[in-house]
Amino acid sequence: MSSELGTQLADKRDALVQLLRSCGRVAVAYSGGVDSSVVAKGAAMGCGDRAVAVIAVSPSLASGELEAAESLAQQIGIRFRRLSTNEIASPGYVQNAGNRCYFCKTELYTQLHMCAEELQVDVICNGANVDDLGDHRPGMQAAEEHRVRSPLIEVGLTKAEVRELARHWNLPVWDKPASPCLSSRLAYGVEVTAQRLLRVDAAERFLREQFGIRELRVRVEANDLARIEVPVAVLGELAQPERRTQIAEHFRQLGFRYITLDLEGFRTGSLNTALPMVDLQQSVVEGQ
């Protein structure tokens, strides 16, 4: 059953649907995560057949995400399209400095504009919410440059409100952990390669399937070091001799040289702590 919304959130819900309706023909840059799914639902309600959810397919998409996103789009009742993107061909993306997401989103939005006529859309929307404004989000610059709208921001929806609205709309992803692209697991300065992305995907899938851990990250540092982040409550379990040995052996088979368990536990954006250092190094390289 859908949850009851407070007056303020109900007003924002209605504003979201009306905003999307006013856009006419809409393409939603869709990942199957909670934010873009709420935009897709609002677009389906406001625009009907004039709305389409478009998911970027590339080596940075984790296994299982494409199938889950397509299934959810069917549940939402919105047209669904796959769009092959090639951000890994961009030197700026491969370099993996602090602005990697800029090159990824630039590729996505460029491709979306190129096929806008085929998709029969006039406006492109993303799933950025109000809380994203206070985070390191170079992709927002790409959105601005390509005139991509952010409906959740425009109506003032926070991440918590987006999740509540998703629950109200019976979207099963309402409590889904954040699942950014696989490239986000690579420490800044570690080049993005298809092999590294496959390695990360396999490592995280192993931990989920073998130990039932829902929220985790396998971060890749220099020298093929894997830094495993899991909730603090799970740290002790993975440190047990039998499990520790099992993880180490499997990760070595995947190609990691060193395997560590992060004692601070799972936390989103942990690699961003290195951004000042990365920016400083980049400035030296560029002579700034």
Q: Where are the domains of the chain?
A: 7-168, 182-286
- pTM here is 0.89
Q: Distance between CA 108 and CA 169 in Å, rounded?
A: 28
Q: Per-residue pLDDT for the chain (288 aa), expressed as one digit of tens each?
A: 456 789 999 999 999 999 999 999 999 999 999 999 999 999 999 999 999 999 999 999 999 999 999 999 999 999 999 999 999 999 999 999 989 999 999 999 999 999 999 999 999 999 999 998 876 678 899 999 999 999 999 999 999 999 999 999 999 999 998 888 999 999 999 999 999 999 999 999 999 999 999 899 999 999 999 999 999 999 999 999 999 999 999 999 999 999 999 999 998 765 656 555 444 344 333 322
The candidate with the shortest Cα–Cα distance to 84, out of 64, 55, 106, is 55
Contact (CB, 8 A) for 62 and 87: no
**Strand-pair category, 217-221 with 225-229:** antiparallel
Contact (CB, 8 A) for 215 and 177: yes
H/E stretch holding 75 = helix 65-76
The pLDDT, as a whole number, for residue 270 is 57
Helices (H) and strands (E) in the chain, counts: 13, 7
How deeply is 158 buried, as exposed, middle or buried, from its count of CB atoms within 10 A (0-12, 13-18, 19+)? middle
Q: Distance between CA 47 and CA 98 in Å, rounded?
A: 36
Count CB neighbours of 266 within 10 A: 19
Q: Give the pair of three-digit tokens for residue 123.
A: 């406006």
Residue holding tokens 């979201």?
16
The pLDDT, as a whole number, for residue 285 is 32
Architecture of the domain made up of 182-286: 2-Layer Sandwich (3.30)
Q: Distance between CA 141 and CA 158 in Å, rounded?
A: 20
- Dihedral sign for Cα atoms in the order 116, 118, 121, 125: negative
The pLDDT, as a whole number, for residue 200 is 98
Q: Distance between CA 248 and CA 244 in Å, rounded?
A: 6
Q: Distance between CA 32 and CA 38 in Å, rounded?
A: 9
Fold (CATH) for 7-168: Rossmann fold (3.40.50)
